[in-house]
Structure 1
Amino acid sequence: MDDPNCDAEALQRTYANFRYVNAVVSGLRHTYRRDIRPRLSAGAETSLLDIGSGGGDVARSLARWAARDGLRLTVTAIDPDARAHAYAAGQPPLPGLEFRRALSSDLVAAGERFDIVLSNHVLHHLGGAELGALLVDSERLSRGLALHGDIERSPLAYLGFGLGTWPFFRRSFIRADGLTSIRRSFTWRELAAVAPPGWAVRREVPYRLILRWQAPAIAEPRRAEGRRAHA
């Protein structure tokens, strides 16, 4: 998929099939219920940034679920790849959902902020310096919470994905790129070793890692208690 000269039709089918794969392996629904939905409100609007949004299925799912729950959520989904952006932006629009071709550093430079920042299956694409830059950007962009979910490398994850996708997705890059992604991914120990201070790694089923950061609580200034003067 990363090859700019890859088969265009196979790439389009790959973007279209991401929603089926992510429904099984991303744990997104659980992340929404546990980490995102409790921060949403029917009255006040919450903003969310999806970094490396690819075909846009994660951003669309979050926007739909929040709307279905009667909660106000605006989702900005960014990806620097022109092909991914064109596919995602070409899908039927949803209220409160915007796709932009951009890097996280572009949004930092513009001074933009969001209540929640997340990514799905992005970490394993990054080298050490790129990972560090993404996490710094995430802290600068988020007012409250950052969540980066990815696969955990494991022989069983590799075997399971290989067998589970073997009969399907023959005319896309899903299977080949998925197996490559598992080989490139972190183990829990590896990700914990490179996580900066303030970031925590959580292991989830099936073979999932969540790299999580929460903005430090700002202590409210103490209110000076009025004292009655005594004559």
Structure 2
Amino acid sequence: MHADLAARAVDARELMDDPGADRGMLERTYRLFRIVNAVVSRPGAVYRRDVRPRARAGQVRILDVGAGGGDLCRVLARHLARDRLDADITALDADERATAWAAAQDGGLGVTYRCALVAELVRAGEAFDIVLSNHLLHHLSPAGLQEMLADTRRLAAPRGLVAHHDIARGRTAYALFAAGTWPFAANLLAGSFIRDDGLTSIRRSYTTDELAAVAPPGWTVRRGVPARLELRWEQDDAGS
């Protein structure tokens, strides 16, 4: 399978973003995110590096922007419960289909699922110790990206952290995802948008240099594995 990865495929659209997307396929996609993200996004590493150290100092408020099916929030909630640490976790998504499905999967973990825009939380004066997103940035227009970064920074409490995680566009990432999902296309992934939308996501994503070029001052771009990007802002003791 070949794709032009020289530049972002900004006009490509993911099937699950269609308001008329098949509800059954959409919900199966949400369900499968748990498996895909465990391999690709490594939420355990996010917990160990960014969440647990802050939670050990006291209760933390965590916001996941564009949370989709809420799997990242539930993984964090389980880790925190295991370590007997206290947190208030909010899974935020602008699509009511996602928040309705995610809320039904909570299983008593106590995550709050909200259907709202980030700007609404800013206007309400809310603040969070940790603001996260996963696979959100590549969905946004250039103006939407700048608005998201400004709003999520406004939501950061004193000494807060904002960390947006996404895919890094590249031939290796595309080839690995295509090859890794192909054996499961007719079974495990059948009836979902995982494979098609995953390939589209990679085509729409940034490279390290592209993201660094559009990041506002004060933000840092980090490259990780496998084919990961992190756009990070962290308030230091001086309040910068």
After TM superposition, the score normalised by the length of structure 2 is 0.88
Which stretches in structure 2 are left out of the alignment for 5+ residues?
1-15
Q: Considering only aligned residues, what root-mean-square deviation do their CA atoms show, in Å?
A: 1.2
CA distance in 2, matches of 1:14, 1:88: 12
Conserved 8 A contact 1:67-1:73: no
Partner of 1:166, secondary structure, is: helix
Tell me the SS of whatever aligns to 1:47.
Answer: strand
Largest Rg, 1 or 2: 1
Q: TM-score, normalised by structure 1?
A: 0.91
Match of 2:6 in 1: none
Any stretches of 5+ residues in structure 1 without a counterpart?
220-231
Preserved contact between residue 202 and residue 211 of structure 1 (Cα < 8 Å): yes
The answer to whether the aligner puts 1:215 opposite 2:235 as a matched pair is yes
| DSSP 3-state at the match of 2:17 | coil
The whole-number CA distance in structure 2 between the counterparts of 1:106 and 1:93 is: 27
Question: Which residue of 1 is the match for residue 120 of structure 2?
Answer: 106
Q: Partner of 2:190 in structure 1?
A: 170
Question: May I ask how many residue pairs the two structures share in their alignment?
Answer: 218
Compute the displacement of 1:55 (Å). 0.5
Q: What's the counterpart of residue 94 of structure 2?
A: 80
Contact 1:56 / 1:77 at 8 angstroms: preserved in 2? yes
Q: Per-residue displacement from partner, 1:176-206 (whole Å, max 9, x unpaired)?
A: 0000000000000000111111100000010
The reply to whether residue 161 of structure 1 matches residue 177 of structure 2 is: yes
Taking the aligned partners of 1:171 and 1:149, their CA distance within structure 2 comes to 26
Q: Which string of whole-angstrom CA distances, capped at 9 and with x for unpartnered residues, describes residues 151-193 of structure 1?
A: 0001110011011111220210000000000000000000011
Matched AA of 2:223: R
Counterpart Cα distance in 1 of 2:215 and 2:130: 19
Structure 1 Cα separation of the partners of residues 109 and 98 of structure 2: 20
Write the distance in 1 (CA, Å) between the matches of 2:71 and 2:109: 15
Pick from 157, 161, 165: which aligns with 1:149?
165
Q: What is the identity percentage for the equivalent residue pairs of Structure 1 and Structure 2?
A: 57
Note if 1:56 corresponds to 2:70. Answer: yes
**Runs of 4 or more consecutive aligned structure 1 residues displaced over 3 Å after TM superposition:** 92-96
